[in-house]
């Protein structure tokens, strides 16, 4: 992916799909975090809550979940399942 920073707003170009996506600062932080290692919804929410000084309550976590779902549909992240 090719990423450009425009004052805490970002464009992300996916060469494979030929699509460009526009992301805010929190969404970009989420992608960078997930690029470093796989993480659960709870881990991502806790990380972002600290980074943006937010309460990691149910509403915050639900919003993160919606963004992750959207990222998955765009092909920016891939949801994985861990078997027991």
Alpha helices in the chain (DSSP H): 25-36, 41-51, 58-74
pTM of the model: 0.82
pLDDT on residue 78: 82
Low-confidence ranges of the chain (pLDDT < 50): 83-84
Residue 76: name the closest of 8, 15, 6 by CA.
15
Residue 32: name the closest of 84, 77, 78 by CA.
77
């Amino acid at each position: 992916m090719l990423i450009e920073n425009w004052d805490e707003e970002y464009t992300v170009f996916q060469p494979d799909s030929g699509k460009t996506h526009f992301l805010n600062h929190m969404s970009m932080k989420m992608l960078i975090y997930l690029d470093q290692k796989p993480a659960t919804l709870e881990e991502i929410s806790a990380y972002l809550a600290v980074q943006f000084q937010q309460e990691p309550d149910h509403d915050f976590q639900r919003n993160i979940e919606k963004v992750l779902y959207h990222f998955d549909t765009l092909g920016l992240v891939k949801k994985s399942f861990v078997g027991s």
